[in-house]
C-alpha cells in the first residue's frame, strides 16, 4: 500500500446500478484509493443460511478495481441478518437489566453464543475463499467497532471459564474480589454471574474483571476471523476499526498486538478548537497503540465525518477547508491516510443525515469539490507516508484504570481517566510538544518524559518498571489517583499512592475531593519561583513530604501551607507529584518546564496559539506539517519546499486563515539535504 490512503466507507448495496457507476467515476475524479465495502452487508451476502450471493459484490469490486480503487473488504459480522436472529434468539444480546434485545438495529449479537461465532466464522471464511486473489482486495476490515457487551447465560458460562483461567482457584478469586465484604463469598464457580443489575452497589472487582473478560471474548471473536482470512489470503493485512469512548469494553492496548495496522474511528464532539485537540489526542493514542502493533508505528484514520461535527444537541457544519486541514493533521501525526464515514450520504436508515464525501446535494457541492481537492493534496504528499513521528514524551492511558474510575463508591463521581489524559495532552498540544499516548509500558526507554494522569490501577511490576526508568534518567509526572489500587481495584494501604510513595517521596494521608464550584489557591513554595497564578479544582489532598521538595503549596483552607506539587530526585531522574487538578495555565507551565529539563522541548517555539507544528521523518528527510487552525493569517518560520504548492520556502511561510503547509526539509539532526 504505497502512498497515503484516501476514501472511506462505501455502501453500494444501498444504491441502483446507475448511481454505482457514477460513484466509480466520482471516486476516480477525487483520486480515491480505498473504499471500505461490505461492513453491514451480511443479509445481502448470505440471504439464507449457507446460501451466498456474491454476484453483486463481485461487480462492485471489479468496477472499483477498474477505477483504480483498492478495497478494504469487511466481514459483515457486526450486523447479523434477521433470519439469523430469529433462528438463534439465544445469540441476541442481553443487557444488564436482563432484557434480551431484538434485531432491527446493528450489533445485535452475543460474542459468547456458539451459533453466532460459527456463523461469523463461516461468512468470513466464505469471503476469504471467494475474494482470494481479487485485484481490488487491499485489506481486510474485520467486523465493525467491536464493543458489544452481553449479560446472558452463555456469557455467564464463558465468563466463568475465563475466570478459571485467570485465578488458580476460588480462594484466589474470593481474595481478589474482596468477597468477604457484604458476604459475597463464592463456594462454587457456578454461583458466579456477569454483573447484572443488582440491589445496591456492585462489586468493583467483579465489574472490572467482566470488562476485561468482554475485551478478551471479543478479541477471540476477532482473531478467529483474522486467522481464517490470513490463511485464505496470506500477505493481505487484516485489521478492525477501533472505536473510542468510555463505554467501550475493549482494551485496545492489548488488541493492538493482534492487528496488522491499528485503525481508529474518530469523531470530535466539540465544534471549536477543542475538535482539533480531541483529534490530536486520538491520533497520538492510535500511534501509541500502533507502536505495539506489527504494523506500527503507522496507524490509520479509518473513519471520521467529512463535514458535520456532532455535539449532544445538533450537527455543526465544518467551515470550508476544515476537512482537508483535519485530514492533514491526522497524517501529520502518523496516519497512513484519511478515510471517512462515508462516501455517499444515504437516503434512509438510522444515519440518514450523517455527512458524506458525496452529500445529498450530489457532486455539485462544496463538500465534493473539497473532497476532490483533498484527493489531489494527499496524492501530492504521498512521500510523507514513509515518515514516522518521533515523540520523546508519553502520556500513560490505561483503559482498565478508566473503567475502574467509572465505578460507584469512589470519593468523587467526576473522576475520568480519559479526561485527565486529554487534559495533559491538551497542555502539551498547546505548547507543541508532541507526545505518544501509550497504553502499555513496553518501550518506555524511548521516552524522556512520562505523564501518568489518574492511572488508578498499578501492578507491582509496573511500579518496578517505572522506578527503573526514572532512576535511569526518566522524568515522571504523576497526578492524584495514580497507583492507588492494585490490578483488582484493591487499595494499597499505608498512605497513598501506595504503588509510588517511595519513588515520589511523598505520603498522602487523606483525600479532600472538591465540589464543582470549589477552587483551591496555590502558591510557589520558594519565593522567586516563576509560576503563573495557580489554582486547583476537583481534587486536593493532605500531602506529607517524605524526601520530596514542594514546588507549590496550598494557600488557605484546611490544607493551608501543605505541599500541593512536589519534586523528588531518584537516581538520574526526577519524579513529580501533582495532588490537585491544576488550572490549564499552571499545568501547561509545569509540563513544559519538565519537558525542557528532560530535553523534550516543542517542535517549534514562538508559534501563535492555534498553529500546530508536527514533524514526520524518515532517513535523511523530514516533513514539517504546519496547520493554522485559527481565523487569522500567520507567518511561520520555515525553510524547504511546500509540497502542497510545490514552491520553495525560504525563512518563513505565510499560512492563510485555516490553511496548512507541508514543508519537506532535511532531518534536523542529520544536516542539510544533499543537492537535488
Ligand atoms: C462509526 C460506525 C459507522 C457509523 C458512524 C457514525 O464510525 O463505524 O458505521 O455508524 O460511526 O458516526
265 ligand 1 Cβ < 6 A: yes
Whole-prediction pTM value?
0.97
**In this structure, are residues 447 and 394 in contact, taking their beta carbons and an 8 Å threshold?**
yes
Q: 442 catalytic, yes or no? A: no
**Cα separation of 71 and 78, whole Å?**
18
340 ligand 1 Cβ < 6 A: no
Closest CA relative to residue 373, chosen from 327, 319, 317, 310: 327
Closest CA relative to residue 54, chosen from 130, 120, 109: 130
Ligand 1 centroid, distance to 341 Cα (angstroms):
7
351 ligand 1 Cβ < 6 A: yes
303 ligand 1 Cβ < 6 A: yes
pLDDT of residue 669: 63
354 ligand 1 Cβ < 6 A: yes
Does 97 score more than 60 pLDDT?
yes
Ligand 1 centroid, distance to 172 Cα (angstroms):
41
Ligand 1 centroid, distance to 230 Cα (angstroms):
26
Choose the residue to mutate in 42, 105, 144 for probing ligand 1, maximizing ligand atoms within 8 Å of C-beta: 144
Does 374 score more than 90 pLDDT?
yes
Query: What average pLDDT does range 222-232 have in this prediction?
Result: 98
| Percent of residues, the chain, with pLDDT higher than 70 | 99
Cell matching residue 398 = 490505561
Query: What average pLDDT does range 637-646 have in this prediction?
Result: 97
pLDDT of residue 532: 86
542 ligand 1 Cβ < 6 A: no
341 ligand 1 Cβ < 6 A: yes
Does 437 score more than 50 pLDDT?
yes
Catalytic residue from among 46, 145, 276, 487? 145
Q: What is the CATH number of domain 393-597?
A: 3.40.50.880
**Position in ligand 1 atom list of the atom nearest CA 241:** 8
397 ligand 1 Cβ < 6 A: no
Q: Do the domains at 393-597 and 611-666 have one common CATH topology?
A: no
Output the residue whose Cα is nearest ligand 1's atom 5: 341
Output the residue whose Cα is nearest ligand 1's atom 3: 341
Ligand 1 centroid, distance to 328 Cα (angstroms):
21
**In this structure, are residues 597 and 574 in contact, taking their beta carbons and an 8 Å threshold?**
yes
**Cα separation of 283 and 231, whole Å?**
31
pLDDT of residue 531: 87
Q: 303 catalytic, yes or no? A: yes
Catalytic residue from among 217, 276, 277, 303? 303
Give tens-digit pLDDT for 416-430.
Answer: 999 999 999 999 999
Choose the residue to mutate in 147, 351, 357 for probing ligand 1, maximizing ligand atoms within 8 Å of C-beta: 351
353-359 contacts at long range (C-beta below 8 A, 24 or more positions apart): 353/315, 354/305, 354/308, 355/305, 355/306, 355/307, 355/308, 355/315, 356/306, 356/307, 357/8, 357/30, 357/306, 358/23, 358/26, 359/307
144 ligand 1 Cβ < 6 A: yes
pLDDT of residue 418: 97
Ligand 1 centroid, distance to 246 Cα (angstroms):
16
Choose the residue to mutate in 143, 145, 264, 357 for probing ligand 1, maximizing ligand atoms within 8 Å of C-beta: 145
Does 295 score more than 90 pLDDT?
no
The pLDDT confidence band at residue 675, using thresholds 50, 70 and 90, is very low
The rounded mean pLDDT for the chain is: 96
Give tens-digit pLDDT for 21-74.
Answer: 999 999 999 999 999 999 999 999 999 999 999 999 999 999 999 999 999 999
Cell matching residue 126 = 466464505
Ligand 1 centroid, distance to 91 Cα (angstroms):
23
**Cα separation of 220 and 225, whole Å?**
9
Does 631 score more than 90 pLDDT?
yes
**In this structure, are residues 397 and 558 in contact, taking their beta carbons and an 8 Å threshold?**
no
Ligand 1 centroid, distance to 373 Cα (angstroms):
24
Ligand 1 centroid, distance to 281 Cα (angstroms):
19
Ligand 1 centroid, distance to 629 Cα (angstroms):
25
**In this structure, are residues 614 and 631 in contact, taking their beta carbons and an 8 Å threshold?**
no
Domain residue spans in the chain? Answer: 393-597, 611-666
141 ligand 1 Cβ < 6 A: no
Fold of 611-666: Immunoglobulin-like (2.60.40)
| CA distances for 657 relative to 295, 368, 403, 635, 653, angstroms | 36, 21, 40, 11, 13
Output the residue whose Cα is nearest ligand 1's atom 1: 265
**Position in ligand 1 atom list of the atom nearest CA 305:** 12
Amino acid at each position: 500500500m504505497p502512498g497515503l490512503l484516501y476514501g472511506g466507507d462505501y455502501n453500494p448495496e444501498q444504491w441502483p446500478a446507475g448511481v454505482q457507476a457514477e460513484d466509480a467515476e466520482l471516486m476516480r475524479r477525487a483520486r480515491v484509493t480505498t473504499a471500505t465495502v461490505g461492513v453491514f452487508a451480511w443479509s445481502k451476502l448470505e440471504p439464507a443460511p449457507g446460501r451466498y450471493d456474491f454476484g453483486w459484490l463481485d461487480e462492485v469490486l471489479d468496477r472499483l478495481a477498474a477505477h483504480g480503487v483498492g478495497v478494504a473488504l469487511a466481514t459483515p459480522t457486526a450486523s447479523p441478518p434477521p433470519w439469523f436472529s430469529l433462528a438463534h434468539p439465544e445469540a441476541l444480546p442481553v443487557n444488564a437489566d436482563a432484557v434480551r434485545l431484538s434485531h432491527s438495529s446493528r450489533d445485535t449479537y452475543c460474542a459468547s453464543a456458539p451459533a453466532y461465532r460459527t456463523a461469523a466464522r463461516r461468512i468470513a471464511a466464505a469471503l476469504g475463499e471467494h475474494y482470494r486473489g481479487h485485484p481490488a482486495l487491499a485489506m481486510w476490515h474485520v467486523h465493525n467497532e467491536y464493543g458489544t457487551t452481553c449479560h446472558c447465560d452463555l456469557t455467564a458460562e464463558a465468563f466463568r471459564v475465563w475466570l478459571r483461567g485467570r485465578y488458580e482457584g476460588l480462594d484466589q478469586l474470593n481474595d481478589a474480589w474482596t468477597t468477604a465484604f457484604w458476604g459475597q463469598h463464592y463456594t462454587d464457580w457456578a454461583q458466579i454471574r456477569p454483573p447484572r443489575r443488582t440491589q445496591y452497589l456492585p462489586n468493583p472487582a467483579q465489574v472490572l474483571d467482566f470488562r476485561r473478560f468482554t475485551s478478551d471474548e471479543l478479541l477471540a471473536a476477532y482473531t478467529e476471523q483474522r486467522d481464517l482470512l490470513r490463511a485464505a489470503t496470506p500477505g493481505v493485512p487484516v485489521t478492525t476499526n477501533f472505536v473510542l469512548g468510555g463505554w467501550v469494553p475493549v482494551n485496545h492496548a492489548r488488541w493492538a498486538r493482534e492487528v496488522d495496522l491499528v485503525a481508529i474511528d474518530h469523531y470530535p464532539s466539540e465544534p471549536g478548537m477543542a475538535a482539533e485537540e480531541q483529534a490530536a489526542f486520538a491520533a497520538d493514542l492510535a500511534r501509541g497503540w500502533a507502536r505495539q502493533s506489527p504494523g506500527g508505528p503507522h496507524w490509520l484514520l479509518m473513519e471520521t465525518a467529512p463535514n458535520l461535527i456532532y455535539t449532544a444537541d445538533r450537527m455543526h457544519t465544518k467551515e470550508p477547508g476544515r476537512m482537508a486541514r483535519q485530514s492533514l493533521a491526522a497524517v501529520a501525526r502518523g496516519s497512513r491516510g484519511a478515510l471517512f464515514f462515508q462516501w455517499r450520504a444515504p437516503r434512509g436508515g438510522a444515519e440518514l443525515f450523517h455527512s458524506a464525501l458525496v452529500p445529498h446535494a450530489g457532486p455539485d457541492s462544496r463538500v465534493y469539490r473539497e473532497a476532490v481537492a483533498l484527493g489531489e493534496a494527499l496524492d501530492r504528499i504521498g512521500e510523507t507516508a514513509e515518515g514516522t513521528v518521533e515523540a520523546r514524551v508519553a502520556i500513560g492511558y490505561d483503559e482498565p484504570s478508566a473503567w475502574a474510575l467509572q465505578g460507584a463508591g469512589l470519593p468523587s463521581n467526576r473522576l475520568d481517566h480519559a479526561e485527565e489524559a486529554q487534559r495533559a495532552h491538551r497542555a502539551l498540544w498547546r505548547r507543541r510538544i508532541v507526545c505518544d499516548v501509550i497504553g502499555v509500558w513496553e518501550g518506555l526507554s524511548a521516552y524522556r518524559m512520562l505523564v501518568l494522569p489518574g492511572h488508578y490501577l498499578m501492578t507491582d511490576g509496573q511500579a518496578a518498571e517505572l522506578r527503573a526508568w526514572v532512576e535511569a534518567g526518566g522524568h515522571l509526572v504523576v497526578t492524584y489517583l495514580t497507583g492507588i489500587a492494585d490490578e483488582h481495584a484493591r487499595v494499597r494501604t499505608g498512605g497513598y499512592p501506595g504503588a509510588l510513595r517511595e519513588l515520589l517521596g511523598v505520603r498522602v494521608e487523606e483525600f479532600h475531593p472538591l465540589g464543582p464550584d470549589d477552587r483551591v489557591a496555590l502558591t510557589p513554595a520558594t519565593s522567586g519561583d516563576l509560576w503563573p497564578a495557580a489554582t486547583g479544582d476537583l481534587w486536593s489532598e493532605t500531602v506529607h513530604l517524605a524526601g520530596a521538595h514542594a514546588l507549590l503549596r496550598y494557600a488557605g483552607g484546611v490544607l493551608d501551607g501543605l505541599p500541593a506539587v512536589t519534586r523528588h530526585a531518584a537516581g538520574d531522574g526526577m519524579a513529580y507529584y501533582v495532588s490537585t487538578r491544576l488550572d490549564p495555565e499552571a499545568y501547561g507551565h509545569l509540563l513544559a518546564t519538565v519537558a525542557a529539563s528532560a530535553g523534550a522541548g516543542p517542535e517549534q517555539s514562538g508559534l501563535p496559539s492555534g498553529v500546530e507544528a508536527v514533524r514526520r521523518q524518515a532517513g535523511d528527510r523530514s516533513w514539517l506539517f504546519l496547520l493554522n487552525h485559527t481565523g487569522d493569517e500567520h507567518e511561520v518560520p520555515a525553510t524547504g519546499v511546500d509540497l502542497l504548492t510545490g514552491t520553495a520556502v525560504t525563512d518563513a511561510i505565510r499560512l492563510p486563515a485555516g490553511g496548512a503547509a507541508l514543508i519537506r526539509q532535511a532531518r534536523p539532526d542529520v544536516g542539510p539535504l544533499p543537492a537535488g
